[in-house]
């Protein structure tokens, strides 16, 4: 029974995320296709969410749409003032200085989610990371930075959940190696993570990302800034990129203290 409840909760959140991506009313067949679920399962889920007041159903168009109840649940969390203000300014400055892409990431469960992204303008190859992209924490430099702040027991719990979810194979990434890598990130201010050094292959094998954790106001979600790009280019300009990242983090730190 407990496992069924957890799966139901996961599917409900998947529906919400689907609407967030599409930003338009969806019919039953669209939701079923978007989630990869049978139509009967999607119908039962949508009916429940409608009865609970989270979705509205239009009989004429046969389409569903989220109600105002959803944003009201979290409107007490104000990301706009901080992230749309000082953080956005810091990202724009990083973009202008480096000409590379700039991303803002936050941990979500066992994943890292990129919640804001700017596309680079450097000549040559560019690695674009769309807003909303999620990657396993253990597969990103930012993720390791976030994990390094946690007590070892909590970090190990993320490792076990990642293995249980099938996102990584224990045989190819044993716990001893996890602990070694965790410890190596404990005191790093800036990381340069290369795709070729990750546990599992990625689409951008020649890519890398330099990243830094930033201060946030009390109660705010944790955040990090990153600059992705081709490995050889980031390595060549790493001193300048690192200086820009430190300056951005300091600018944000000062703004928080002044607020």
Residue range 168-182, pLDDT digits in tens: 889 889 999 999 999
Q: Provide mean pLDDT across the span 205-223.
A: 90
Cα separation, 244 vs 98, in Å, equals 8
pLDDT at residue 2, as a whole number:
44
DSSP code at position 60: T
Cα separation, 253 vs 251, in Å, equals 5
Instruction: Decide if pLDDT at 203 tops 50.
Output: yes
Residue range 142-151, pLDDT digits in tens: 999 999 999 9
* Helix, strand, coil abundance in the chain, percent, nearest 5: 50, 20, 30
For the chain, counts of helices (H) and of strands (E): 11, 9
Instruction: Decide if 190 contacts 209 (C-beta within 8 A).
Output: no
Residue range 224-259, pLDDT digits in tens: 999 999 999 999 999 999 999 999 999 999 999 987
Query: Which has the closest alpha carbon to 112: 150, 140, 153, 91?
Result: 140
pLDDT at residue 3, as a whole number:
47
pLDDT at residue 49, as a whole number:
92
Query: Which has the closest alpha carbon to 205: 193, 213, 216?
Result: 193
- Return the SS3 of 216: coil
Cα separation, 7 vs 28, in Å, equals 19
pLDDT at residue 237, as a whole number:
94
Q: How far is CA 237 from CA 87, 191, 210, in A?
A: 23, 14, 11
Q: Tell me the residue ranges of DSSP E strands in 51-206.
A: 55-58, 63-66, 102-108, 111-118, 134-136, 190-194
Cα separation, 193 vs 64, in Å, equals 42
Instruction: Decide if 210 contacts 242 (C-beta within 8 A).
Output: yes
**Helices 2-22 and 39-51, interaxial angle, to 10°?**
90
Residue range 89-122, pLDDT digits in tens: 999 999 989 889 999 999 998 999 999 998 877 6
Cα separation, 88 vs 118, in Å, equals 10
pLDDT at residue 58, as a whole number:
85
């Amino acid at each position: 029974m407990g496992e069924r409840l957890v799966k139901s909760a996961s599917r409900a959140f998947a529906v919400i995320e689907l609407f967030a991506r599409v930003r338009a009313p969806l019919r039953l067949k669209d939701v079923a296709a978007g989630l990869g679920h049978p139509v009967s399962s999607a119908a039962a889920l949508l009916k429940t969410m409608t009865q609970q007041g989270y979705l509205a159903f239009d009989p004429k168009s046969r389409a569903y749409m989220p109600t105002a109840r959803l944003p009201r649940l979290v409107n007490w969390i104000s990301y706009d003032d901080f992230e749309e203000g000082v953080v956005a300014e810091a990202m724009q400055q990083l973009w202008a200085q480096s000409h590379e892409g700039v991303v803002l990431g936050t941990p979500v469960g066992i994943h890292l989610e990129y919640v804001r992204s700017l596309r680079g303008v450097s000549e040559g190859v560019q690695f674009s990371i769309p807003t909303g992209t999620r990657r396993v924490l253990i597969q990103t430099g930012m993720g390791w930075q976030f994990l390094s702040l946690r007590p070892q027991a909590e970090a190990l719990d993320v490792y076990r959940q990642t293995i249980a979810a099938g996102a990584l194979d224990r045989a190819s990434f044993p716990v001893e190696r996890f602990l070694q890598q965790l410890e190596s990130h404990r005191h790093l201010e800036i990381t340069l993570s290369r795709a070729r050094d990750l546990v599992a292959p990625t689409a951008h094998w020649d890519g890398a990302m330099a990243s830094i954790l930033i201060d946030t106001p009390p109660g705010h979600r944790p955040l990090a800034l990153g600059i992705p790009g081709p490995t050889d280019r980031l390595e060549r300009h790493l001193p300048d990129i690192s200086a820009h990242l430190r300056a951005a983090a300091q600018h944000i730190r000062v703004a928080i203290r002044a607020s």
